[in-house]
């Protein structure tokens, strides 16, 4: 035990013995006897350095451990969250084909004290610059054009006029710059077109500046995976183009305008994106909130689906299962049917038992030979191989 000299008098007891072992003195203390003095034979010594510190590193480490292990409580709803939820419930509806139509959650200050300015000219200059860069990469340019042409084929964009919408000196339209993001390891979408709603234009504000982001509804990834691993039989699937299966109210679509032309020699044309767009700050909230609304609308007929869509989904990935084959098969068929009713196709489906995949078209599977293991047979779910 190492003690400071300032507390030595406090631990001594009135008892002393001389000539211990021929040369040592023994002093009694409240902790027991201590020896001091010279020794005749050589001994191995231990050098100890004591440093006084004002911090409590052990306490800090314990505190961090407790905080890390703490089960998080329910999130407190903010005023912004309440506004977004009220707007969603009061304005969201389903079309005849079952797809949802939502409104963008504009802040109450918009457009009075937070007004957007003109954006088309700057967006056109940026588009032409990106187009020049794409010309140096013909393969990427071709894929990029095909992605935007797919938007037209699926009717996710609509051609509009080149005039920005102005009322009382305020702009009620906004042009989104866009660029390519390459995903070489993706089995399906190698190139994704990303729209930049955070771009500042003439007024010094972006579209994201005048929109509420919305509450965070995304599940904790670790909890989703842990729940998934508790099942004996598991399946996994990806909601294809999840954001783009949800439509935006017609009066809000002009805030999602883009510029595009199929050929550099043709005229630049104006379009408006008709669906929820990745890159708009509230897109994640709107997509997940709509996914949570679907089981509410389907609960009487499919009670099992609510648990899956609310608790066993991470953004557009479904990770669920069951403890016996029959209940798991029921979950697979019900989740596919409910998602399909809202225009959500479930694709890239995998499972750990072949019978769970028997009634699913091969084109909807991630890999038809996924359970025929080879040395190089791997797949990834949420980045985990």
The answer to whether residue 385 sits within a structural domain is no
Co-location of 20 and 132 in the same domain: no
How large is the average pLDDT for residues 95-121? 91
Whether the predicted pLDDT of 271 surpasses 60: yes
The whole model's pTM is what? 0.73
Q: Tens of pLDDT along 332-349?
A: 999 999 999 999 999 999
**Residue 379, in any domain of the structure:** no
Mark whether 245 and 287 lie in a shared domain. Answer: yes
In a domain, 384, yes or no: no
Judge if 252 and 323 occupy the same domain. yes
Q: Does pLDDT of 237 surpass 90?
A: yes
Structure confidence at residue 375 as a pLDDT band (50, 70, 90): low
**pLDDT one-digit tens code per residue, 75-87:** 678 889 999 999 9
Average of per-residue pLDDT across 351-358: 90
Beta carbons of 240 and 345 less than 8 angstroms apart: yes
Parallel/antiparallel/unpaired status of strands 100-102 and 93-94: antiparallel
What does pLDDT average to over the chain? 86
DSSP one-letter code for 208: G
Q: What mean pLDDT comes out for the span 357-385?
A: 73
Q: Once rounded to an integer, what is the mean pLDDT over residues 288-311?
A: 88
Same domain, 120 and 178: yes
Tell me, yes or no, whether 142 and 8 share the same domain.
no
Residues above pLDDT 70, as percent of the chain: 88
Percent with pLDDT over 90 in the chain: 44
C-alpha pair distances (Å), 324 with each of 216, 289, 310, 355: 33, 30, 21, 12
The tally of domains found in the chain comes to: 2
29, 137: one domain:
no
- pLDDT by residue (tens digit) across 45-77? 666 666 665 556 677 777 777 776 666 666 678
| Beta carbons within 8 Å of 218's beta carbon, 6+ residues apart | 284, 288, 314, 315
User: Does residue 61 lie in a domain region?
Assistant: no
Same domain, 190 and 309: yes
64 inside domain: no
pLDDT of residue 200: 86
Highest mean pLDDT among 109-123, 188-202, 208-222 belongs to: 208-222
pLDDT value of residue 328: 93
DSSP secondary structure letter of residue 21 = T
* Per-residue confidence (pLDDT) for residue 145, from 0 to 100: 86
Please report whether residue 378 resides in a domain: no
Same structural domain, 41 and 86? no
φ, ψ dihedrals at 169, nearest 5°? 75, 5
* pLDDT per position as a tens digit, 166-198: 988 889 999 999 888 877 666 556 778 889 999
What's the whole-number mean pLDDT along residues 99-113? 92
Instruction: Determine the straight-line distance between the first and last CA of the chain, rounded to whole angstroms.
Output: 51
Q: Is 305 within the bounds of a domain? A: yes
Domain shared by 10 and 91, yes or no: no
Pair (130, 231) in one structural domain: yes
Domain for residue 270, yes or no? yes
pLDDT band of 39, cuts 50, 70, 90: confident
**pLDDT for the residue 106:** 94
pLDDT tier, 282 (very low <50, low <70, confident <90, very high otherwise) = very high
Burial 98-118 (b: 16+ CB within 10 A, else e): ebbbbebbbeeebbeeebbeb
For range 210-233, the mean pLDDT: 92
What is the mean predicted confidence (pLDDT) over 282-297?
Answer: 93
Q: How far apart are alpha carbons 242 and 104 in whole angstroms?
A: 17
Range of the domain at 31: 1-45
Residues 39 and 93 in one domain: no
**259-278 average pLDDT score:** 90
Residues 297 and 227 in one domain: yes
pLDDT of residue 68: 66
Task: State residue 304 phi and psi, 5-degree precision.
Answer: -70, -25
Angle at CA of residue 213, ends 89 and 273, nearest 5°:
80
Higher-pLDDT residue of 383 and 250 is: 250
292 has a pLDDT exceeding 90: yes
Closest C-alpha among 318, 381, 326 to residue 346 = 318
């Amino acid at each position: 035990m190492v003690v400071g000299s300032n507390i030595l008098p406090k631990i001594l007891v009135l008892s002393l013995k001389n000539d211990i072992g021929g040369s040592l003195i023994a002093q009694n203390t409240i902790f027991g006897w201590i020896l001091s003095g010279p020794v005749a034979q050589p001994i191995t010594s231990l050098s100890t350095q004591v440093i006084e510190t004002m911090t409590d590193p052990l306490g800090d480490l314990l505190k961090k451990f407790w905080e890390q292990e703490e089960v998080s409580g329910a999130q407190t709803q903010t005023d912004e969250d309440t506004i977004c939820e009220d707007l969603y419930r009061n304005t969201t509806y389903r079309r005849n084909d079952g797809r949802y139509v939502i409104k963008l959650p504009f802040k109450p200050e918009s457009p009075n004290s937070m007004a957007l300015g003109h954006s088309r000219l700057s967006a056109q200059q940026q588009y032409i610059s990106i187009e020049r860069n794409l010309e140096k990469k013909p393969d990427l340019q071709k894929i990029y054009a095909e992605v935007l042409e797919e938007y037209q084929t699926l009717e996710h964009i609509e051609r509009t006029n080149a005039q920005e919408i102005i009322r009382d000196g305020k702009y009620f339209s906004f042009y989104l710059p866009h660029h390519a993001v390459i995903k070489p390891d993706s089995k399906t979408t190698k190139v994704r077109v990303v729209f930049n709603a955070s771009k500042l234009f003439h007024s010094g504000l972006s579209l994201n500046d005048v929109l509420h982001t919305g509450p965070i509804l995304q599940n904790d990834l670790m909890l989703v995976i842990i729940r998934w691993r508790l099942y004996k039989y598991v399946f996994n699937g990806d909601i294809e183009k999840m954001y783009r299966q949800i439509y935006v109210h017609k009066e809000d679509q002009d805030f999602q305008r883009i510029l595009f032309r199929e050929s550099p020699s043709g005229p630049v044309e104006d379009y408006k994106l008709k669906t929820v767009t990745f890159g708009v700050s509230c897109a994640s909230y709107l997509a997940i909130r709509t996914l949570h609304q679907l089981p509410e609308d389907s609960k009487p007929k499919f009670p099992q689906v609510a648990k899956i869509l609310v608790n066993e989904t991470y953004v557009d990935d479904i990770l669920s299962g069951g403890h016996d084959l029959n209940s798991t098969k029921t979950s697979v068929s019900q989740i596919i049917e409910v998602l399909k009713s809202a225009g959500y196709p479930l694709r890239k489906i995998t499972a750990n038992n072949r019978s769970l995949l028997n009634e699913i078209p091969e084109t909807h599977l991630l890999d038809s030979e996924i359970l025929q293991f080879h040395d190089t047979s791997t797949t990834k779910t949420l980045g985990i191989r």
